[in-house]
A and B are shown apart, each in its own frame.
Chain A
Amino acid sequence: MTASLQAPLRKWLQLYGLFFQDAIVYRANAVIWLMTDTVPSVLMPLVWLASYNHRPTIGGFTPSQMVVYYIVVLFLTCAVESHIMWDISNDIKAGLFNVWLTRPVNYMAAMYASNVSWRLMRTVIFIPLFFAVVAVFHQWVRFTPNAYDLSWRFWLAVVLGHVVSFLTSYSMGLIALTVVEARSLYNFYYLPLVIFNGQIAPLSCFPPAIAHIAYMLPFGYTIAFPAQVFLKHVSEPMLLRGYAMQVMWIALAAILARTLWRNGLKRYTAYGI
């Protein structure tokens, strides 16, 4: 490796390492916290299974697909959903943000590094619970090779959704530069998020108007869209439209983040902290 590449690479590896350690400290408690996501993922499919009453499908999903939907959603919640706004607003509130301004590191890249270590840690710790849930529902999981889409189509949707989620929550975090009590605003982000991102139920089970709104907002493209791709519930034109919307939201969120950063920084430094 050339000398010019070594230094920045080492810098980034160290940064990743630090963030990872930070996340691992909470591992004992982390298992319990993970259960808070897993128990609903077991209860909700059970409620659905008890609702079919001999119907072949609900919202276009067979009982088997409905169960697997919640398992995929559980995975996607770990791998995709970013909550970086809390870290950012904490830093800003505690006055630690200045430290970032003096560091020779791009703030967004650094926050992305932090986000990736959290996503990785959650996904890795989640793996045994994932197997546990699959074991519990093994009657309904199809173990044939073509049952689910595990091709690049799915993974592209996951990666794009991951970026959408990061950029939206990053922008939410930057709001704390301008608005002092940004944290109370975050509930207004989480409420629509929980409704529209498909973690409560597949969007096809919602009233069409609600589903329509979800597909106009970034929320529909973080978890709902990749989950549907996984279950092969997406036609070719819909797939392309989905990717296009994801890319569009990445662009929009990036522009928003840039604007918030510029304006926020002006306001922030004006207070001369």
Chain B
Amino acid sequence: MKRYLSLYGAFVRYCLRQAVEFRVNFWTNLLANMGWMFSLVVFLEIIFRNTNSVAGWTKPEMFVLFGTYSLLRGISNTLFYNNLSQIPLYVRKGEMDYILTKPVNSQFFVSLRYVSLDDLGQSLAAVFVIGYGWLQLPSLTPSPLALLDFALLLVCGLILFYSLNMLLMTLSFWLVRLDNLMVLADTVFQVARQPVDIFRVFGLVPRFILTYIVPLAFLAGVPVRALFHRDAAIPTLLTAMALAGLFFTFSVLFWNHATRSYSSASS
């Protein structure tokens, strides 16, 4: 364990050394993200200009949800994006052989090799959106316990974010020609930006699937709901932890299966 921690430290130091590039990329990244998020903020503003609640979610709740999802995405991008999105490339170009021969757990290496500090801009923009949402309801003062619960649920959300991403990217061992599986992941994850209750017009099944089968609801929706409504806190937290553990295990099992049945690029 210690060995892996020190190895990760080395990864971070190496990335920090790209300091000059970092400054420029950081600002362009931040501006690009603010632009993208701006259009989504406009959408929510238009919605709430015309109504008071979306599937029972009020304006502050919706904005905090949007900000929380973006924060989760920002953290995930910083830690995992540059790495997971390269997996199809590694497989296609044969670099995966090289990675598999290293004396380190290949999943650890493939997931955490590069830290994308440029993407911190997205997390920063997300914090602004959360702040904006909170400003809509200044009376909301969560207790330390509620904040802890929120943080724990977010950690579960992050683990789920990683696991679902990893499960999808591992498919590139078989779907070698699809370069932009990561784009597909990004696209599907957008669903987590909205409360899963909006799917209730289609009945109970889609909502169930998005909560327990592909638990997008647990990424940001459940943590934010817990912040505003303190009922059923313990069962929710336990479910979140169970799902996070379960899907992380799936990702490890699937990755091991993929690397075992992987016939190298050069035979």
Contacts and interface: CB of A to CB of B under 8 A. Distances in A.
A205 B50 contact: yes
Contacts of A36: 183, 186-187
Interface stretch (A1-9, A43-51, A163-171, A253-261): A43-51
A191 B52 CA distance: 27
A191 B38 contact: yes
Contacts of A49: 198, 201
Interface stretch (A92-100, A193-201, A222-230): A193-201
B197 A29 contact: no
Interface stretch (A53-61, A78-86, A143-151, A263-271): A53-61
Interface in A175-212: 187, 190-191, 194-195, 200-201, 205-207
A40 B190 contact: yes
A81 B14 CA distance: 43
B188 interface: yes
B187 A205 contact: no
B256 to A, nearest CB: 26
> Is chain B's binding surface mostly helix, strand, loop or mixed?
helix
Given A46-B198, A52-B51, A28 B42 contact: no
Contact of B35 (A32, A187, A200): A187
B117 to A, nearest CB: 22
B34 to A, nearest CB: 10
B125 to A, nearest CB: 15
A33 B183 contact: yes
Given A35-B187, A39-B188, A51 B47 contact: yes
A205 B53 contact: no
Interface residues of A, number: 33
A48 B47 contact: yes
Contact of B47 (A29, A47, A139): A47
A53 B53 contact: yes
30 contacts: A28-B177, A28-B178, A32-B187, A35-B184, A36-B183, A39-B187, A40-B190, A43-B194, A44-B43, A46-B199, A46-B201, A47-B43, A47-B54, A47-B194, A47-B198, A50-B195, A50-B201, A51-B50, A53-B51, A53-B52, A58-B50, A59-B50, A191-B38, A195-B39, A200-B42, A200-B43, A205-B49, A205-B50, A206-B46, A207-B49
Interface of A: 28-29, 32-33, 35-36, 39-40, 43-44, 46-53, 55, 58-59, 136, 139, 187, 190-191, 194-195, 200-201, 205-207
Interface of B: 31-32, 35, 38-39, 42-43, 46-47, 49-55, 177-181, 183-184, 186-188, 190-191, 193-195, 197-202
